[in-house]
């Protein structure tokens, strides 16, 4: 059961709990509430682990993109060196090397931007998820507090 199901279960428990007449207070099974809160606590570390994994994956993806860009730049340099050896095509070699380097840099920027956008989206959803979870937990705790007359 994921954390949202657990929070829904807690909310349903609060909504369905009988009330003490004239006080507005709820009658809940303390053991059931505590057990559900413990389940929620155990679910949160998994969600956080997944977020950390996403961050590591993003870093790995960026490293791979930078390595790819470096290899492309090296290929461009090698190609340029080969062309330089031929006197008639010196100008062409320089131009081609610049184009390859520019393409590699552009590809690296695009890959990095895509990875950042993906990570931002995932982390944004995780933040929203955790905010909702925290709000539900706070509401549950508030509902458990005795109401003042």
User: What are the boundaries of each domain within the chain?
Assistant: 65-141
Q: pLDDT digit string (tens) for 95-140?
A: 889 999 999 999 999 999 999 999 999 999 999 999 999 998 998 8
Q: Which two tokens stand for residue 128?
A: 């929203």
Q: Are 149 and 74 in contact (CB under 8 A)?
A: no
- Whether pTM > 0.95 for this model: the answer is no
Name which of 62, 76, 75, 78 is nearest 117 in CA terms: 62
């Amino acid at each position: 059961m994921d954390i949202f199901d657990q929070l829904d279960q807690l909310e349903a428990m609060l909504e369905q709990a009988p009330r003490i007449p004239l006080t507005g207070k709820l009658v809940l099974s303390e053991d059931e509430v505590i057990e559900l809160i413990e389940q929620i606590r155990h679910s949160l570390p998994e969600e956080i682990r997944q977020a950390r994994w996403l961050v590591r994956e993003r870093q790995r993806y960026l490293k791979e993109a930078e390595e790819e860009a470096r290899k492309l730049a090296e290929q461009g340099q090698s190609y340029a060196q080969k062309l330089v050896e031929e006197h008639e095509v010196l100008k062409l070699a320089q131009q081609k090397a610049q184009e390859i380097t520019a393409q590699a840099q552009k590809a690296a920027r695009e890959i990095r931007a895509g990875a950042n956008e993906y990570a931002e989206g995932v982390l944004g959803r995780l933040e929203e998820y955790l905010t909702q979870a925290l709000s539900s937990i706070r509401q549950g705790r508030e509902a458990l507090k005795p109401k003042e007359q």
